[in-house]
Amino acid sequence: MTVSMKAGHPFPEESAIPESMRAAIPLEQRDYLINGEIRTWKGPVQEVFSPVCAARDGALEPVRLGHYPLLTEHEALEALDAAASAYGHGRGAWPMMTVSERIACLEDFLGRMAEQRERTVALLMWEIAKNRADAAKEFDRTLVYIRDTIAAYKDLDRAASRFEIEEGVIAQIRRAPLGVVLCMGPYNYPLNETFTTLIPALLMGNTVIFKPPKLGVLLHRPLLEAFQQAFPPGVVNTVYGDGREVCGPLMASGRVDCLAFIGSSRVAGILKSQHPKPHRLRCVLGLEAKNPAIVLADADLDLAVRECALGALSYNGQRCTALKILFVHRSIVDAFLARLSEAVGALRLGMPWEDGAQLTPLADPDQAPYLESLVRDAIEKGAAVVNAGGGQRAATCLTPAILYPAAPGMRVYAEEQFGPVVPVVAFDDLEEPLRYVVDSPYGQQAAVFGSDPEAVARLLDVLANQVCRVNLNSQCQRGPDTFPFTGRKDSAEGTLSVSDALRVFSIRTLVAAKEGALNKRIINGIVRERHSGFLSTDFIF
């Protein structure tokens, strides 16, 4: 039972924090990037503390990590001016560059970013308590994403490097940029999910203002020089501070053409409503979810338990794709709970840098008390924590709590817990979990566990019209990143994948000409003499 906190708490004495981790902090950031300049902020700053505490004289204190600038509306609007002028209504150097030139800038950035791996991974561990393996994976996955995006962009361009003739009209159809994009990522994947919008937005010729999430800010600092050196001035601009203070004015200006936001539907709704021109604004949103697992009576129990434990608890359940409610057929629910409790009991709770730590402190300091309130509410309404040592809290750490029987009316039945609380519902009739999916405000993914091809197929067909990915005998997840990632209802707007992201940050645009001697001569002249970036049959290798 390594998961329990019988010893009191899992935090280290200050002196036991490894030197490699201490070396990354404190990071007293006053810098921000606007119009190609790294400027120094002289105003107020936001103190940053880790979810990791250190034991000092018997008390637990969050480790101080440094600070970052609390910019104001003024700097946010300067960033907007810089991005808008770099875009230049589509006439700026960046949107007018050839595809090969923009790719060269991205490749330059990729090399510079790779040099910052160690510092960035250490800051990921400090700021959001992601374990070392997952923090390294987040960084490496982002590098692969950038490489794959460049390859997909080449494919897109190659396919568009030709003319079509229909009904006597000659046309070349390409994808053109949208303009100024505001990119905001979530705190659970502050690097990767910010970059899964920022990189394709840039590559398509847009200019970007990017605001890091509320947690996971300092880890972007080592990349400021890379942005500055790899891109022309104004193409990438950063803003730091309170979202209401800096993002509200950006949206209210009406000059943001595209909002790329991964976070809560509540905040997405506020941001969208601040924009005065709703039809000008394009949105790419990745929002919350309450993905269910449905475990049928004939499921392979070992497999189902393994995937459900992984799906509900990797990175402490702080994933939008996490399994957030488990529906298990009543005939197997006791065996399922016993094995799930055993699997959860074997998980190792530790600090992000400790070898094999699977559970770590929760990133958001408000999350553990919130989760405790969900557990209390469920217990008051008839559920129990069925795993030994479950639901114990020390500061930002909470041991996973398996709640059974979870039922309608409990908050945990409906709310997205985003943490290590696992509600289990027993069902007799498949209509019960299906009704749950239909009535849910969310529609991202579901997981189905079963063995009979016919029964599984019937369920898959129904679920495929309710959510956007049905996982068979597998946990829910976003990857591989080449697969589409989206959701229905309040879970998403637009589709992200390596290739889809290039589409959502651009718009199909064509140059068309009625066939005739004059137009043919002009088009031939343009292509032969390479007068145009748009009208071109160049093939990128």
Q: What residues make contact with ligand G3H under the rule CB under 6 A?
A: 188-189, 193, 319-321, 477-479
Dist CA 336 CA 339 (whole Å): 5
In the complex with ligand G3H, which residue's Cβ is closer, 228 or 477? Answer: 477
Shortest approach of ligand G3H to residue 16 CB, angstroms?
A: 30
Dist CA 172 CA 76 (whole Å): 38
In the complex with ligand G3H, which residue's Cβ is closer, 206 or 491? Answer: 491
In the complex with ligand G3H, which residue's Cβ is closer, 188 or 387? Answer: 188
In the complex with ligand G3H, which residue's Cβ is closer, 395 or 467? Answer: 467
CA dihedral in degrees (224, 230, 235, 236; nearest 10)? -20
Shortest approach of ligand G3H to residue 199 CB, angstroms?
A: 15
Max distance between CA atoms of the chain, in angstroms, equals 88
Shortest approach of ligand G3H to residue 481 CB, angstroms?
A: 8
Shortest approach of ligand G3H to residue 479 CB, angstroms?
A: 5
**Nearest CA among 291, 289, 311, 307 for reference residue 299:** 307
In the complex with ligand G3H, which residue's Cβ is closer, 246 or 476? Answer: 476
List 68's β-bridge partners, or say none. 46
Shortest approach of ligand G3H to residue 418 CB, angstroms?
A: 9
- 3-class DSSP state for residue 242? coil
In the complex with ligand G3H, which residue's Cβ is closer, 141 or 503? Answer: 141
Contact 304/473 with Cβ under 8 angstroms? yes
Shortest approach of ligand G3H to residue 370 CB, angstroms?
A: 17
In the complex with ligand G3H, which residue's Cβ is closer, 210 or 231? Answer: 210
Dist CA 265 CA 415 (whole Å): 13
Counts of helices then strands in the chain (DSSP H, E) = 18, 25
Dist CA 410 CA 110 (whole Å): 47
In the complex with ligand G3H, which residue's Cβ is closer, 319 or 324? Answer: 319
21 is written with which tokens?
Answer: 């981790």
What would you report as the CA-atom Rg of the chain, rounded to the nearest whole angstrom? 25
Q: At what angle are helices 192-203 and 132-160 packed, to 10 degrees?
A: 20
Shortest approach of ligand G3H to residue 213 CB, angstroms?
A: 11
CB atoms < 10 A from the CB of 373, how many? Answer: 12
User: Half-sphere exposure (CA, 13 Å, Cβ side) for 11?
Assistant: 26
Shortest approach of ligand G3H to residue 189 CB, angstroms?
A: 6
In the complex with ligand G3H, which residue's Cβ is closer, 320 or 426? Answer: 320
In the complex with ligand G3H, which residue's Cβ is closer, 240 or 315? Answer: 315
Beta-carbon contacts of 152 under 8 Å, excluding residues fewer than 6 positions away, are: 498, 499, 502
In the complex with ligand G3H, which residue's Cβ is closer, 189 or 210? Answer: 189
Dist CA 68 CA 241 (whole Å): 8
The string over 262-300, giving b where at least 16 C-beta atoms fall within 10 Å of a residue's C-beta and e elsewhere, is: bbbbebbeebbebbeeeeebbbbbbbbbbbbbbbbeebe
Shortest approach of ligand G3H to residue 107 CB, angstroms?
A: 25
Q: At what angle are helices 99-114 and 132-160 packed, to 10 degrees?
A: 170
Shortest approach of ligand G3H to residue 210 CB, angstroms?
A: 18
Shortest approach of ligand G3H to residue 417 CB, angstroms?
A: 13
- The letter for the amino acid at 389 is G
